Copies of this chain bind each other. A is one copy, B any other.
Amino acid sequence: MSLVRVHNFSVSLDGFGTGEGQALETPFGHAGSRLMEWAFETPTFQAMGLHGQTDGSYGVDEAFAGSWATGIGAEIMGRNKFGPQRGPWLDEEWTGWWGPDPVFHTPVVVLTHHPRPTLEMEGGTTFHFVDADPVSALALARDLAGGLDVRIGGGVSTVRQFLQADLIDRMHLVVVPILLGRGERLWDGLEGLDERFSIEATPSPSGVVHLAFDRR
């Protein structure tokens, strides 16, 4: 059976997965880049070409970051991860934050109440826009994944919905020691979630703490 996995998902110490005020220039709102800075220097993120160019830095951050694509056959993401627009599409020019050759290289199911035609990008990424609940979206993603695992890519409410529906097998969470104070909380409505997982913590010299959730 293919697994459902979450990777490289950062939350602040006060539990926010994104700040307030997402916009084209600020995908994480007032959080800026602070939730993801731990990853910028990793070879995995460097290879995505998103965050300047350095030689990259190996270590525990890379050890976790690097496993995000291994064995993955499809991703599911919420519309808020796909772009900053809300409501009906005003145009269909927007093709995501990731340029003509997105980093995914697999089918990606985008959850939206406003479906639009499938988008075939370079490099094997195909965006499928569907209005579906988590169970149906997962069935579709598993079909598209060809027996491989499915990654739940975010944003915050998408991960939360899949956790609430008890559909996630493994989750790599990164607790970043910042206090955002406002934004979107990951943990709302998840009382007792810990009973369904074993949770292992690993701190990094970068200051973050990696949490590995494994379904019991």
Contacts and interface: CB of A to CB of B under 8 A. Distances in A.
B181 A191 contact: yes
Interface in A183-202: 185, 187, 189-194, 199, 201-202
The SS class assigned to the A binding surface is loop
B201 A13 contact: no
A31 to B, nearest CB: 11
Which bracket fits the contact residues of A? Answer: 20 to 34
A208 B209 CA distance: 11
A65 to B, nearest CB: 18
Task: Specify which of A13, A177, A182 lies most central, judged by the most chain B CB atoms within 10 Å of its CB.
Answer: A13
Contacts of A199: 177, 207
Nearest to A187: B14
A35 interface: no
Given A175-B175, A191-B179, A14 B13 contact: no
A148 interface: no
Interface string A66-86: 000000000000000000000
A123 interface: no
